[in-house]
Structure 1
Amino acid sequence: MPWLIGLAVLAVPIVEIYVIIQVGQAIGGWPTVGLLILESFLGAWLVKREGRRAWNALQTSLQSGKLPGRELTDSALILIGGTLLLVPGFITDLFGVFFILPFTRPLARRGLTRFVNRRVTNLTPAAGFGPFVPRTDEPRPRQGDVIQGEVIQGEVVDPEKK
């Protein structure tokens, strides 16, 4: 996973520059800059509007006493989408708008939920390594001492004391 993030950090700017150059060659330099500025303003307005809706839904959920799972996921998606809209470029703006729009957000929410569930089910508690470490197929070592013995009428008999 860390190598994938590193690859994205390197590849996304290169792809964005390539797309901006291609759009600039198709419609001209100033119209491309104007389109990028227009996308930024539209994205800021959209983040403000959907962020306010998500905040109100979260407050309503908390006041009614129910767990705000969907509301928190929507808030996270709006935060991610807003961050993507801050990055200049057409591809990141496309993904940002996908995460923010109310009619495409359920698709992104399902994908995010699947991703998180897959990551959580692949984790298991282990002492000494923080709360979770990746699950392995190796058997877990037993904790404590193992005492050999027999049970007779509810009592444990130590075979060494016979």
Structure 2
Amino acid sequence: MWLLIAFLAVPLIEITLFIQIGGAIGLGWTLAIVVITAILGASLARSQGAIAMGQLRNSFSDMSDPTEPLAHGAMILFAGALLLTPGFFTDAVGFSLLIPGVRKAAFEFLRARVNVQSFSTHGSPRTDPRQPRGGDVIDGDYHEIPPTDQGSQKPSGWTKE
């Protein structure tokens, strides 16, 4: 239900803002602001994303919980998408998600409402370590066959003489 409301409300808000701002400053300046915010937002999202990737790599190398860097990366990606979408409301939300304090507050808000029941870094334990994990491995034996006399046979066409 909330998704439906968002899909209806956001375009209505954007159209209203375009009409109001375009009427106040003119069409040319309105379009210039939309293009400038898209370019500025893309560069900011790229630099913030590089920082988030560094933090994610550090959490993996330190063997610490990667949840927060992953959430920050997802929010930066979402911010970049919002900033590339033409509109003033989406730009405001996108730029706010590029502020680390806002991302941290959003992460803490979501963390308080999500309950993780269990977490595992590997698959289910196997009883026999020699058994494959999936069903796509076939166990088999082979025997080498000694070469036969090649003088009496013609080449097959797949081999060179």
TMscore range, shorter length: 0.5 to 0.7
Contact 1:98 1:108 in 2 (8 A): no
- Structure 1 gaps, min length 5: 124-162
Paired with 2:111 and 2:10, the residues of 1 have a C-alpha distance of 24
Aligned length: 117
How far apart, in 2, do the equivalents of 1:45 and 1:99 lie? 14
Cross-structure match for 2:133: none
8 Å CA contact 1:54–1:71 kept in 2: the answer is yes
TM-score (norm 2): 0.67
Q: Which has the higher contact order (CA 8 A, sep 6+)?
A: 2
Given the alignment, which residue of 68, 71, 74 partners 1:70?
A: 68
Q: Deviations over 1:80-130 (max 9, x none)?
A: 211211221111111111111224322222223234x1xx47x9xxxxxxx
Instruction: Write the distance in 2 (CA, Å) between the matches of 1:99 and 1:87.
Output: 14
Identical columns (%): 35
Max Rg structure: 2
The residue number in structure 1 matching 2:122 is: none
RMSD value over aligned CA atoms?
A: 1.7
Q: Which one has a larger percent strand, Structure 1 or Structure 2?
A: 1
4+ runs of 1 displaced by more than 4 Å? none
| Matched residue, 1:34 | 32
Shifted more, 41-50 versus 79-88: the winner is 79-88
Tell me the distance in 2 between the aligned counterparts of 1:46 and 1:112.
Answer: 24
Deviations 1:39-68 (A, max 9, x none): 001100110000000001100110111121
Q: 1:81 to 1:112 in 2, by over 3 A?
A: farther
Q: TM-score, normalised by structure 1?
A: 0.67
Corresponding letter in the other structure for 1:42: L
- Aligned counterparts of 1:87 and 1:110: Cα–Cα separation in 2: 27
- 1:6 paired with 2:4, answer yes
Q: Distance in 2 between matches of 1:111 and 1:87?
A: 25
Q: Which moved more, 1:69-78 or 1:100-109?
A: 100-109
Q: Counterpart in 2 of 1:43?
A: 41
Counterpart in 2 of 1:90? 88
Aligned residue runs from structure 1 range 74-153, under 5 A: 74-115=72-113, 117=114, 120=115
Q: Which runs of 5+ in 2 are unaligned?
A: 118-161
For residues 52 and 98 of structure 2, what CA distance do their matches in structure 1 show?
10
Change (3 A) 1:114 1:85: farther
- The letter of the residue matching 1:43 is G
CA distance in 1, matches of 2:97, 2:21: 23
For 2:112 and 2:83, the matched residues in 1 are separated by 24
Q: Give the whole-Å Cα distance in 1 for the aligned partners of 2:111 and 2:39.
A: 29
CA distance in 1, matches of 2:21, 2:6: 22
